[in-house]
Amino acid sequence: MHPLAQKVVDRDLRGTARVCRLVDDRVGDYVAILKDLFPHTGKAWTVGVTGNPGSGKSTLTDRLITVLRAQGKRVAVVAIDPTSPFSGGAILGDRIRMQSHSADPDVFIRSLATRGALGGLSRSAADIVRVLDAWGADVVLVETVGVGQDELEITRTADTTLVVMAPGMGDDVQAIKAGILECADVFAVNKADRDGADATQRDLELMIALGGEVTAAGAHGRAHAPGKLDVAQQVTHAASRWIPLIGRTVATRNEGVTELLGLLDRHRAWVFGTPEGAARREQRLREAMRTQLREALIDAAVGALGAELDAAVQAVARRETDPYTAAETLVAAFRDR
């Protein structure tokens, strides 16, 4: 085993931090290390924590760590630095909000910088989660700001996704990107000490109810008008699909946090304990594998074709051929290698 991989498995904090840096920068032996670590992964429960800037994700994450530690769980946090103008310097702020755990050797907090290329961030995040899984985390919390495509991708790699909403800051259901709502497994209506928490919760309940009906109508065809699903069908529907749960919290006062973890735990039981959950995990693994394959194929093709790729670019620029034909020709050339 690579000596650095050994350090991760031995739960050496500095060695693990070093591996995280290599993986984040994609330098050194990072691929060899990830390969060696993979057999030691698969035990952690990954929870994505997302929501608009300032909704209370870091504060809530800090409180969740406390409850998880009280249960004897080893916890890792990956805080993704958003490039959002609303939350510049978020890493520093997040560090401060989670620093109550900085002396605890069973809590590992890692910040991840936004990578340039689209998809780069989610790839790094997925790899870092694997490192922390091998380190021995029982739970990995991944905090992202629910804005871009990258963040949505990260959410898709989590076993459970928590979407944090805050009332009274224009953070209503409509203001949240549709993609994020669709991947929510549990909602936290945080800042429940503020006006508007009831309205936010009602909006969410309505949205979830409508979402269920639309899906059910689609699945069963047009024979059933909306609202006329019989009970038996509703039961099947409920069993085969996860209906998002809603919790209310005041993170700053530590209210509702244990209950919220209870809701998250119910989702974990579904993901890891039912055939539907297993199907979902397999589906996500397949997506991840496709991404990995796509990347490997492109790297291999660009490396092998080199000069031909340049020639194709020139030919398209001169309008001697079109990009579609050029791509087909390059694929054929690569296949014949």
Ligand X SMILES: Nc1nc2c(ncn2[C@@H]2O[C@H](COP(=O)(O)OP(=O)(O)OP(=O)(O)O)[C@@H](O)[C@H]2O)c(=O)[nH]1
What are the residues binding ligand X (CB under 6 A)?
A: 53-59, 87, 90, 93-94, 97, 145, 190-191, 193-194, 250-252
Instruction: Using CB positions, name the residue nearest to Mg ion.
Output: 58
- The tokens for 26 are 């994609």
CA 247-202-221 angle, to 5 degrees, is 100
CA distance 50 to 295: 26
Q: Which is nearer to ligand X, 33 or 90 (CB)?
A: 90
CA distance 188 to 196: 14
145 binds, among Mg ion, ligand X, none (CB under 5 to 8 A by kind): ligand X
Q: Which is nearer to Mg ion, 19 or 65 (CB)?
A: 65
Q: Which is nearer to Mg ion, 94 or 133 (CB)?
A: 94
252 binds, among ligand X, Mg ion, none (CB under 5 to 8 A by kind): ligand X
58, 122, 144, 200: residue in contact with Mg ion (rule CB under 5 A): 58
* Contact string (CB under 5 A) for Mg ion, positions 185-224, x = contact: ----------------------------------------
Tell me whether residue 235 is exposed, middle or buried, using C-beta atoms within 10 angstroms of its C-beta: 0 to 12, 13 to 18, 19 or more. exposed
110 binds, among ligand X, Mg ion, none (CB under 5 to 8 A by kind): none
Q: Which is nearer to ligand X, 251 or 301 (CB)?
A: 251
303 binds, among Mg ion, ligand X, none (CB under 5 to 8 A by kind): none
161 binds, among Mg ion, ligand X, none (CB under 5 to 8 A by kind): none
Contact between residue 77 and residue 110 where contact means Cβ atoms under 8 Å apart: yes
Q: At closest approach, how far in Å is the CB of 155 from ligand X?
A: 14
CA distance 151 to 270: 24
Contact between residue 33 and residue 6 where contact means Cβ atoms under 8 Å apart: no
81, 94, 127, 151: residue in contact with Mg ion (rule CB under 5 A): 94
250 binds, among ligand X, Mg ion, none (CB under 5 to 8 A by kind): ligand X
Closest Cα to residue 83, out of 116, 56, 124, 57?
116
Calculate the alpha carbon distances from 90 to 41, 101, 104 in Å: 29, 18, 22
Q: At closest approach, how far in Å is the CB of 151 from ligand X?
A: 11
Q: At closest approach, how far in Å is the CB of 121 from Mg ion?
A: 16
CA distance 332 to 304: 12
Provide the H-helix boundaries in the chain.
3-9, 13-25, 30-37, 57-70, 90-97, 120-135, 149-157, 178-182, 197-220, 231-240, 257-273, 275-305, 307-317, 323-335
Q: Which is nearer to ligand X, 21 or 194 (CB)?
A: 194
Q: Which is nearer to ligand X, 28 or 168 (CB)?
A: 168
Q: Which is nearer to ligand X, 64 or 132 (CB)?
A: 64
Q: Which residues bind Mg ion (CB under 5 A)?
A: 57-58, 94
